[in-house]
Amino acid sequence: MFFLINNYIILQIFGKKEFSVFIFNYKNFALKTDESNRDSFFYLLLLIECF
């Protein structure tokens, strides 16, 4: 949960465009790691969709 809150703050500070770059990099990282990280990525996508 802390992970999501952290990235919500990042989104507010840097705006959606820069955050998308972060998400793209995180996606590449998550695909190379375990399922829990991939799940976190999908939660981030849901978070972005709220905007």
pLDDT at res. 1: 40
Using DSSP, state whether 48 is helix, strand or coil.
helix
pLDDT at res. 44: 72
pLDDT at res. 45: 72
Q: What is the enclosing helix (H) or strand (E) of 8?
A: helix 2-30
Q: What is the enclosing helix (H) or strand (E) of 26?
A: helix 2-30
Digitized pLDDT (tens) for each residue of the chain, 51 residues in all: 445 556 666 666 555 655 566 666 666 655 555 555 566 767 777 666 655
Domain borders along the chain are 2-49
- Read off the pTM: 0.28
pLDDT at res. 16: 60
